[in-house]
Chains A and B, each alone.
Chain A
Amino acid sequence: MTFAERMVHIDRRIIFLVIGLCTLLPLLHPVGLAINVSPEVRAVHDYIESLPPGSAFLLSMDFDPASKPELYPQAVALLRHAFKRNLRVIGMTLWVSGTGMADQVISQVAREMGKTNGVDYVFLGWSPGVGSLIITMGQDLYKAFPSDYYNQPTSSLPVLRDIRTLRDVNYVVSLAAGTAGIETWYVFGKDKYQFELGGGCTGVIAPGLYPLLRSKQINGLIGGLRGAAEYEVLIDQRGLAVAGMDAQSVTHFAIIALVILCNAFYAVIRTHARRSGQERVGRVAEE
């Protein structure tokens, strides 16, 4: 077996080890690579910046713990920004399995920013229906959520004063790991009730959402851990996402190097096989 063949058939556990080390070492010893902010992330940030204090901001955390590494930092950054701007924050989720985690993130950030439940923010929790839930919220928010996650009647909460329907909400951001998510909010929400909609998503579904961004169906998009890092840079509060960017860059370099090497070895194997084939044909012809 030639060197190239041995390399192409290398034990995959060695590659796992290489990727693991490329991820672990930058986390232990960060380098501090520069992070450039993309226009789609800046669009979400700038829209929140433009909202006057007291505006209603609805954050729908449509993800479960499986997508926590990518979307939890986005939620933390957005909530910090919204609380810093003194917006009235309405939290909710369309994913039943993410309810506990969504409550945890909003309570934690609110505590950190000195905000009071019921006065500065409310967590509505989860309710069944997805599309029909959004439609019901668009017609009567209190019918969709008669009580919040802690069983307080929503109609008596100061934070929901003057908010009857989704039309009264100034900005909705959906942090989505799949369906139900940003597309659901657009199809059943914005298209009908005409509120401004932004999105945050995992890297897996981000490519499918760029058509919505281009057509201005959503005004901005925060994609994956990278998007969360860009948002943390914008609000000048570097956290988990920025800490992971060095590891992400090093891992990507490693993967690119492995892909190039593998293609080079494959090209060598093919050339060798072609030459061996030609030599064999030549010998047979002589015989």
Chain B
Amino acid sequence: MPFDMLLGAWVATGLTLFIFTFLYEDNPLFKVAEHLYVGVSVGYTIVKAYDTVVVRLIYEPMVKQGDWWLLIPLFIGGLMLTRYVPKITWMSRLAFAFIVGVGSGLAIPRVVSSYILKQVEDTFRPLLVLGETGGVTFNFNLADPTSNVNTIVLLVGVVSVLFYFFFSIEHSGPVRHAARTGILFLMIAFGAAFGYTVMARMSLLIGRLSDLIQFAAPGYGRASIWLLLLTVGLLIAWAFRSPERPTS
């Protein structure tokens, strides 16, 4: 077993167990792991961003390939940093204006087309389908997302939920019934989303426990077992720590 893999296994196991100690009580082991996680992820991001953006996309093209026009976007990006100098903070607004303008110009038409128009188009599907012999067919299969009955359910759901969120008129009479139907659809949707979230969280736990089981093998020096004993021991020692002296 290469040393770096062995070290990685022990570190991963230790930090996983330290994080799990929070299930018992907040404690210094959890704090160590939490701070390490935040620090390492930020540090990794900074280094990768520096290597990819500053070195590979700015320095090398300018110096090795002569793309000196990159100084223009570099200058605009640099204007952002004037935020930290109170006297010239106003210059950062130029950079923000450029970024917001370009971003909006790129995003708005695409988002309107993809999220709004395409979804509206899909909501209004034919309720009846013309058959080959000239008759009409109606598919009652609820399990088929493209069936005609599901098209009606979807249409009723979309319209009733929109009624619920329309607060410019009072929810009374027929509007009240439509809004309450919308609430039912919202409850079902949130329930499904919550169920998926529970499944996702359980999957994360399964992933961590699978790794702990793997790292309990002799090839990894039984990392999980030794570190579990160490963690439990430290937790017990911390739980029986002497109480702090009260200040007079």
Which residues of A are at the interface with B, using a C-beta cutoff of 8 A?
A: 13, 16, 19-20, 23-24, 27-28, 64, 68-70, 96-97, 99-100, 125-128, 131-132, 135, 146-147, 151, 183, 186-188, 191-192, 202-204, 206-208, 211, 214-217, 223-226, 240, 243-244, 247-248, 251-252, 255
Contacts and interface: CB of A to CB of B under 8 A. Distances in A.
Contacts of B199: 203, 224-226, 248, 252
Task: List 8 tightest A-B contacts by C-beta distance, closest first.
Answer: A69-B207, A203-B200, A215-B122, A225-B203, A244-B206, A187-B114, A203-B196, A203-B199
Contacts, number: 131
Contact of A126 (B48, B107, B146): B48
22 contacts: A27-B210, A28-B213, A69-B204, A70-B207, A97-B41, A97-B44, A132-B102, A186-B114, A191-B114, A203-B197, A203-B200, A204-B196, A214-B145, A216-B122, A217-B118, A224-B196, A240-B207, A244-B210, A248-B202, A248-B206, A252-B202, A255-B198
Interface residues of B, number: 45
B205 A135 contact: no
Contacts of B118: 191, 215, 217
Contact of A128 (B49, B119, B208): B49
B203 A203 contact: yes
Contacts of A70: 200, 203-204, 207
Contacts of A27: 206, 209-210, 213
Contacts of B189: 207
A243 B49 contact: no
Contact of B53 (A24, A128, A203): A128
Contacts of A191: 110, 113-114, 118
B111 interface: yes
Nearest to A190: B114
A207 B111 CA distance: 19
B41 to A, nearest CB: 6
